[in-house]
Structure 1
Amino acid sequence: MVNKLVDYATTKIISSFTPSIDNIFLKEGIFIEAGIIENMAQTVALHTGYTYFLKGEEPPTGYIGSIKRVTINKLVGIGEQITTEANILHEIMGVTLVEIKVKNAHSEEIAIGEMKTVIASPNE
């Protein structure tokens, strides 16, 4: 649910995504709420994966620990690009808390939320 890495920093990432006609999160041509939440999660995963890529290491498996305070104000349709920004609020012992904002092509904030992700232990 991410097409492009737009910007990266140690505490922030911006991705973009454009839903296509074959996307599983489309209903009657509209990219539904579950798709936006999946885009949020994939943006956070992109940050972790790219961080490990820069270190020359294999990225770990991660999981969504929790999703809270998600508000979706507007949906987009097929071919409408969204831009997702995740800002890391706290990171400790493999647990990361991020604030995520999603905007449409007109820079309108269409969704906001917080997500906690967890890196799997090496044995998993």
Structure 2
Amino acid sequence: MIQQQLPITNISHLIPQKTPFVMVDTLLDFSPSHVVSTFKILKTNLFLKNNTLLESGLIENMAQTVALHTGYDFFLKDEVAPTGYIGSIKKVDILKLPALNDIITTKVDILHEFNGVTLVAVKVYNANEEEIASGEMKTVIANQ
């Protein structure tokens, strides 16, 4: 099994998204049932409007954190990570939108995984550890 010291700031090999669509930049914590990422909102972000990250950017950050979990899990096994998709979003509550240069922390708990479908609960926090968004979604691994 491959080991890599956390945090990992070069995560480009762990997720399928490429610049300018990357919405995570650091892997902080990982276990088989949990993952934590951070993301600094830069001026070049596609989901930035009036110096505020749009709701769609927060949802994409949530989904990419799930992809980061899958990617790192496969990396540890020295296997190529499959491509995944958002299968469904059960609910999302957005309490506050982050601003330019904010660093958000996204925590994902894997609730259930079966046959390539993963149900997760996600919470997003600002730098003050205030919850700014939460949701549940299903992700689906594409057939290889």
Task: Tell me the TM-score normalized by structure 2.
Answer: 0.84
- Given the alignment of the two structures, is residue 51 of structure 1 paired with residue 73 of structure 2, yes or no? yes
* CA-CA distance at 1:103 after TM superposition: 0.3
Consecutive unaligned residues of structure 1, counting only runs of 5 or more, are none
Task: Return the alpha-carbon distance in structure 2 between the equivalents of residues 93 and 68 of structure 1.
Answer: 19
* CA-CA distance at 1:62 after TM superposition: 0.7
Q: Which residue of 1 aligns with 2:122?
A: 100
Aligned-pair RMSD on alpha carbons?
A: 0.5
Q: Which residue of 2 aligns with 1:121?
A: 143
Q: Which residue of 2 aligns with 1:4?
A: 26
1:1-124 equivalences under 5 Å are: 1-122=23-144
Paired residues, what number? 122
Task: Return the alpha-carbon distance in structure 2 between the equivalents of residues 68 and 107 of structure 1.
Answer: 24
Instruction: Say which structure, 1 or 2, has more relative contact order (CA 8 Å, 6+ apart).
Output: 1
* CA-CA distance at 1:68 after TM superposition: 1.6
Consecutive unaligned residues of structure 2, counting only runs of 5 or more, are 1-22
Higher strand proportion (structure 1 or 2): 1
Partner SS state of residue 92, structure 2: strand
* CA-CA distance at 1:76 after TM superposition: 1.0
**Deviation beyond 6 Å, 4+ runs, structure 1:** none
Percent of pairs identical after alignment? 58
